[in-house]
Amino acid sequence: MAANISLFKASTILKNTRLDKELELEEISKKIKIPKKYLEAIESGDISLYPQEPYCSLFVRDYAEFLKLNSTDILSLFRRDFLQVKHKSKNKLTKFGFTPQITFTIILTIIGILFIAYLTGEYIKFNRPPKLTVNWPETEYINQDNFEVTGKTDPESTVRVNQDLVIVDNQGNFSKKINLDSPQTQIIIESKSANGKTTITKKIIYKKL
């Protein structure tokens, strides 16, 4: 085996030697004071489970010596195997990880999506009729000569109440005093946006005689 030892992995040699000697990992762990989970990791070649250096190399050396193997040769193979696995893992990260180019592309894509979403929102906002909410009296019957109607619309909109232009503040609020000159008065409130879209609401108010 010595002539062809370089053809094998350290983990394979250690495991096969242990099996040939019919030894259990739990038994070895107790004798050489190395946790069983680390012996299992060494035999499986799973570097993610290895202890930190220098403990890992020391464990491999002690394990090899316990099995009557040449610890120097086993350590050389182990370090070779470790570097190969580590190199493959690094290549995978380079191949599938977030390289600067990929990160830059993702950022540009996100910015593009957000910009398109913004333009879409502005387009919809520009082409839809303005919002219009009116605070009508609780009842349609009023026993006084006038009352005040209030409401809210888009701040950029123009509001007319029965064709009379009313002031809209920065929050879109407006108000108008309505005179009830007849027993029945129809109130028409129109809100017109900058692009000419309109929203109209109507209500009839009755004056109690």
pLDDT digits (tens, 9 = 90+) for 125-134: 777 899 999 9
State the Cα–Cα distance between residues 171 and 19, nearest whole angstrom. Answer: 83
Top CATH class, 5-96: mainly alpha
pLDDT the model gives residue 97: 56
pLDDT the model gives residue 8: 64
Top CATH class, 132-207: mainly beta
CB 190, CB 160: distance < 8 Å: yes
Question: How distant is the alpha carbon of residue 116 from its chain centre?
Answer: 19
CB 78, CB 57: distance < 8 Å: yes
The helix/strand/coil state of 177 is strand
pLDDT the model gives residue 175: 94
Query: Hey, where are the domains in the chain?
Result: 5-96, 132-207
pLDDT the model gives residue 85: 58
CB 153, CB 159: distance < 8 Å: yes
What is the tens place of the pLDDT at every residue in 91-107? 554 455 556 778 888 89
pLDDT the model gives residue 88: 53
pLDDT the model gives residue 98: 59
**Which residues of the chain fall short of a pLDDT of 50?**
1-7, 89-90, 93-94
Cα torsion 99, 103, 104, 106 to 10°: value is 140
Specify the long-range contacts of residues 99-102, CB closer than 8 Å, at least 24 apart.
none
pLDDT the model gives residue 93: 45
Sequence-ordered strand ranges (E) for the chain: 132-135, 141-142, 146-153, 158-161, 164-166, 173-179, 184-192, 198-207
